[in-house]
Structure 1
Amino acid sequence: MGKFMALKQENNEKIKELEVKLKDLELKYLIKSKELDILHDITSFANEMNDLKEILDNLLSKLINMMNLKGCAIYLYDKGSNLMELKAIKGITGELIQNITVIHPKIKLLPDLKSKTEINILGNYYKIQPDAENSSISSTFLIPLLSKEEFLGLINLVPHELDKLSQNNIEMLVNIGNELGCVIKKFLESEKMQESEEKFKAITEDTSLGIIIIQDRIIKYASKGISNISEFSIEELTGLPILNFFNIIHPNERNEIKKIAIKKESGDLNAPNNISFRIFTKSGKIKWLDVHTKDIIYHSKNAILVVGIDQTEKKLTEEKLKESEEDYRKRTTILEYLNKMIIKGNSAKEVNVFFEEILELIKHLMDVKIVVTYIYEKGKKQLVLSKCIGLSEKIIPFIVNIGYNDSFLQTLMQGKKALYLDDYTIARPKFINFPLTSIIAVPIFDEGNFFGVLSVARDSSNKFSPDDLSVMLMISDILSSVISRLQYDSKLKKSEEKYRTLLETSPDHILITDLNGKIEYINRHPSDFELGTVIGKQIYEFISPEFHEDQKNVIMDVLETGCVKKVVLKGKEPLGYPAWYETQLVPLKKGEIIEKLMYIARDITDIKTSKLKILESEQKYKGIFDENITAIYVFDTEKKFMDSNQAGLDLLGYSLDELLSLSIPDVDGGTVFNEPAHATLLLGEKIENYIHNLQRKDGKMITVLNNSRPLTNENGEIIGMQSTIIDISDRIAAENTLKESEEKYRLISENINDLLAIINENNEFEFINEEIFQKYLEYNETDLLGKDIHNYINKGDLNKAGLSNLILDTIKSGDILLDTRFKHKKGFYLWLEMKIRKFTDKNGKNKALILATDISERRALEEARLEYLKDLEQEISSKSKELRTESKKLQDTLNELNITQELLMETEKLASVGLLAAGIAHEINNPLMGIINYADIVYEELEKTNSINLEIEPYSFIKEIMQQGNRISEIVNGLLSFSRQDQGVFIISDISEVIKSALLLVLPKIRRFQIDLSLDADNNIPKIPMRVQNIQQVIINVLQNSLDALNEKYGLKSKPNTKKISINIKKVFIKETEFVNVMITDNGIGIKKKNLPKVFDPFFTTKKFSKEHGVGLGLSISYGIIKAHKGEIDLKSKWGESTTVVILLPVKNENE
């Protein structure tokens, strides 16, 4: 009985033990069911909801209800700030937040959560007891959110009572934290990829660059920029074989581009990546493209990225600049030749002699085969051949008899007209084999009387143009002016007409107004305005009203300062269209009083109105994920289906009975639970976030996300497996599409050759294409991201454009086009053309996309073009002044030839003009020698008589006559020496004598300005080889500069011995080579230190341009002369004290 009772008691204890284990299993099953329910909800929320906060809010509600919590919250970790950000909260608000705030600094929570995966027996779980005495929260639990051990944040749980959370609940929460961490990770990655796609798409679709991606010889992608450039739609370009695209390339470049494409396709590393060519647009226009190519990987295959920049406006600007340069050179050449003709005309004595001298000049200037002059004999009423060069004498009578008949003469004699035959053989068919086909004949007039004809002819390969006819008319004017001088009649009206021709043919608009703005003159050629509609009108009628105030301010500035001012104005063309002009406003003075204003306006409409083309996005973004189905399956250890929920049946399309007859290999093709994976589960370990394919009953393959874990019995033995399956087919497809899109736009933005940036509402950089910024400006992302863009843009450029805050101005005004200087990392500035467009990101925040192109080269071209135009204007002005000066000299020469006495009184003036004075020197010398000789004879005869005292008056005058005559002879010989034509020959000469002969020409000025001049030469100075006239010119140029410097410092009148010039000549040895050293020193105003490096530069001068001071060529010409003598010239100066010019000439010269 005792044994029975003992056995019964033992059985009862075992039954109780089994009941405890059964309850424990029931509790574990309940908790596991909750866990599966929550995991199912997590995956469902992730597939059904696009907003992370919405997912977290639903999850917290589920946790509070299921676990009877007082409250809970989810925090996400921000790596950048190393802080926790509250993302969702339920139940308790302020207390919970305060609780986290108290806990964190006391236990250094974050470092533990991020670095440890196991603490004591609680696993990935922390239990903390805060010592907040007045807190209503007795305890709190923090569960880390992990994804592959990456810390993403934490879940904070606040229970009503601490004991209600058991070890099983803790393990469940850890699993939930891991699952939720994976979901958050994928969501954040997807969100980041969306932002990346949005950023790169905004960059590529909003740029004006033409972008295409070529793969397998097919255009796989075409941007809106290339569509706008080519005028073909994106649909027409996408899918187009590249060979067909070559058809729009200009034929002149097509074959070369094809060769380059073949080289790149074959992998030739020497194939150029940067090329330039022309294309035909869809409408037939021709555009220039600068193209950059780069090899890329696109959709896992080799491809070529092509980025094209529309350079049409730049090319047009370059062509205009070339035309301006050519026009400038042509006009300069014409002016030089015309000036030579005028100089020869000044010294001419006879018409035929003058014709002989200038026919060769005309032949070279006009590039003709023949030049002929005819004299008109009034009595015979016919032309008589005067002079001819170029063809044989057999042709000359033939030319005369061809067509210079009465009808021809009447044509030429009816006013200022000319005969212009572009094809003479058409006009005279019977002379079909005649060698000359293009002829110009211009009349020569004398005060309205027909004097003769100047004719030039070319062969068929080089026909005349209307410009050639204009030049011939100018030459005719010069001939007429010379004839007028030779006949002692004034031809000043001809000179005036000549200047007007130059003015009227100017490419610029030139207007003259009175001080009230009333137009008094406008040149005809460029303006195309009817003069009657302009003369007498106000200048403001031709300027847009918004520029009136600026114009008035500029006029006031010119009137106050007397200086030339530049301004850009908007006006209108003759047909009324708006036009932009870059205008110089020049004061016209009489003495020091401004009487009128001259406007010189250059049309810059084409440059000013460059259009800004900003592209807009065409596509709206699609959602990444479609709705998916979550399924839960139970398998035995042999992979046979044991159970499934309805979602699982719906997912695969089977009924429950059909599914239970299948095993895993029947639906997965042997890819899911291969032997290593199956072995992992049988070892008691989980398989998480495994992506694979399943085959539905209807044969369709779907992509799923699989999370599996082993199932155990009460003894811990593995009896099966449970899998949570989520259909992510749509999400995978969307992710692949998103990856392709992000890859495409990222590749494009990284490889275009322009600067790209995005700024936020605070004008701070959020994005830059770092490689291009480093290329042009040497900035990297660290330098710019988060920095205010205004710190790098020239504030003057912003103010000029009326901008103060780029992001606000863009939001207010829309798209902005801005030319500005941007600060380089090294401190200097580059010119950029910025195209700024606003856009709104997915969070509704305003941002701006900036596309910037380096336009430094274009700005340099524009500045060079303006500089050329300025030089041309100065040259025309200078030549016009010279022409007027030469005309005045003509009249002076007439007076000097008529009165010998006046000629002697004007010796100083003749000396200053060199060759012109030398022209009359020969005429003076002969009678002067007679006077001296006769005086000498009289003196000798009287001396023989011994009856007359030759030392008393009036007999002493005879000796004075001889002395003064010899003085005049010295001056004449000095002029002849100066004008001697020895420029091409080196002769052995005495440098001291050469300098003395040069001093004769400036001695009158030295005396007039009371300058103390000293000349000191060593006795052993050797004679040296030189071009005498050239060395004299150098000495005169240097002395003239000394005179100017002395007068600038002391004034024209000063005390004696104040102004000093010293000339020292000595022999020196430098590196065993013998030189003659000439040192000229003055105590004048000197030269500023900053100007010393430029004194030998052409056209450099510190003096205002005038007849006396010239245009700054003296020292430049002197430098060239000394270098031609194998010598050296140097200048040393101290501002306000003195200047010394040192000239070294070799004693032995290879030119001698």
Structure 2
Amino acid sequence: MRKTAFSSLVLSPLRWLRKIRGFRIVYTPLLAIVLFTAVMGIILGTLHLQEKNQQEAALFRELSFAKQRIQSRFASNLDALTTINREMAASEDQLKLRQIAREQAEDLVLNNHEIVKIIWLNNQNQRLWAAPAESNKSDWISKTQNDQLINSSLASTIELSRVTSRAAFSQFVSLNLPGDAPISTDRKIVLWQVVPNIVGGEVVGFLAALYTTQGILDALPSDLKSHYRFTLLTDNERVLGISSDRDTPKRAFSNQTSLDIGVLSPNINLRIDTYPPPTNLTFRMLIGVVIGLSAFVVWSLWSVLKQMQVRQEAEASLRKETSFRNAMEDSTPVGIRAHDMQKRITYVNRAFCEMTGWTSDELIGLTPPFPFWPDSRRDELVEKMNRAMKSDISVVMRVGIEGVILKKDGSLIQTRTFIAPLINEKGKQTGWVTSLIDISEPKKIREELAASQDRFTTVLEGLDAAVSVVSLETNALLFANRFYRERFGDNSKGHFQLAGSDTSNTTMRDIAEDLEDSPPGIPTPFLYQESESEEVQLGDDNNQWFEVRRRYIPWVDGHLAQLLIATDITARKEADDLALQQQERMQFTSRLTTMGEMASSLAHELNQPLSAISNYCMGVAKRLDGHLDPALTKDILPALEKASEQAHRAGTIIQRIRGFVKRSEPQRKAANITEIISDAVGLVEIEAHRHRLVISSEIAENLPVVNLDPVLILQVVVNLLKNALDSVREAYPLSSRWSAPPVRISADLDTSIFPAMLRIQVTDAGGGISENVLERIFEPFFSTKSDGMGMGLNICRSIIESHHGRLWATNVQDSEQTKLAGCTFTILLPLESPGFKATV
């Protein structure tokens, strides 16, 4: 009895515990469903209230946007009408202006659905034009019985605009639709907007635009009208236009605002109505939540059992995979070790133990520096390890870290270490895994190859010639030494510039393609056959010359490539050119010397006959003086005196040229440039009249006296005038020279420079001088004439420069700037020479 009582006392709490556990298992989900349903009901009610508030706020926001959109459209239309008025008032060509204004108005009507017609009226209310143009088919207003009504509304609006001098709107006009309905219902209610055209404070006309109330709603975006219904109303709730005929539900939200479309406009109200969904979203969501919660509880119970089964299968698979990983790690020659976040070794495989000579029990738990690191490099290896674990892991995983390991027996091996983060099942890093490979032998081979390559590269980099190799398949630059890179960069463009337009590259590329399927082995003489050296010039500006040699070689990948060696021979070319120039200069100097000797000889030989001519003329004049008829004396004696004077002048000119050839200074004296030009024109006019040409002089008044050699300056002016006459004579044939413009010579002061200089210009109306000839006309022995020596302009420039002046030539363009219409030679002479003052 005691055992039974004791047992009942002990078992009674246990039963209660089981009942409580069973109650909890059975009713806990149900209680959770009830609590969840109540909470969701409260949440849904709150969301419904918030949704209502948000819809009302969105409705007000969309109504404000629609109001602003309509007001912006009316403001834009008013600006466009005002612009048309302003352009019509600004121009004097009424016909052209009316056409432009009508086109602008038609574009405005075409791009704005709310405007159906624009009319231009003068200040007497007479219609001048309409857009679109009125016709029997397009004048839909006159087809209705509303012509008088709408015209009277227009007249009253025009009068209101005239009085206020501002844009005005009419009252709404309802058009009566006949039985056959010639106009659509969207034009049933219209109103006028009249914009006065004010010029100088007076109204000169009016621009009237006819609006439809239904078209005003077209200014709203279509997506906005698909979610809301917009209605235009008057103050007495009269409907002017509606965006949609679809009815709104009883639970629809609505809002209304007043449209202010202008200062003198009727009151228009804009109302917005929503289209809420007809279904009871709250109720259906509540039912869906309850059903979903119940399904979720059933699914949860089922998923728990399923997860237990999956967990057992995962544990079995994990054991199998662990055994496989252990076998794989033991079979690989790569040493693997794991570290925790404190860099303590937590795992090593058998390959790592064999690599170091230490057992796993001796290695696990160690922290840096490790005993398998050499003492002399421990600080370096610790720094490398710290830097690798703090840097980008992807780079370390791809490149690795070179290091060294000291085996337990004291021998060293070179290693490369790769590091990867150790991530647990929660995605959190718990340490690192490092793998090591022995690179002692490959590193030794690489070092030997690198040393050999360094020696070869050093030799190529030290060459004073460009060495480049280009692939025949891809045209890519495979190798280039320092000399090539400094001059042509890191691309193959310079290689092909040096190779020129040789077609052998294409031939070798075709041969390489044919040899791809053939047995390996290409004849060595065929590949290494070197082309003959050739000289190549690169660039017009640099003027670089290279001696180029080419050959074809098999590259390291087995494909054909072209080797090119280019030696810079620019210095040698420049030396050859310099020697050629020196030779030409010596020839030129010899010709100048010969010409100087000829000039001295001619001066000596011509002085005596010229002196004799002068003496004979003067002697004849003295003997005839008083012995002839006065009428004959008046004609003969001046001619003899002039002949004597010209002979004396010719002798003086020869003396000046002889002195100039001998590098003597001009014999300066104070001279009047007007007299010099007059003498030059008098000497050349005889030849000009013979060729039916005219010379005109334009000499400024009060020109100062200039210090110069009048004989040499006279010779320069005569030479330029003769050249100008020759240019006009070549441009105009003899039969049409009566229409040729005269050769003009002018003299004035050029005050655009400081100090001012005397300017003499000789301008002809010939064919001008081409640009390539214009650059060389002052060179010695250069002439465009078949019988010319090419020394005239050169001597002229030398004479002007000996006077410290300038002489140049410029072409004259025709009025259309399409062709040359002559040439102008300009002389600038200083007013005072250094150390000389002219006295009058």
Q: Is TM (by shorter chain) over 0.5?
A: no
- Higher radius of gyration, 1 or 2: 2
TM-score scaled to structure 2, two decimals? 0.42
TM-score scaled to structure 1, two decimals? 0.32
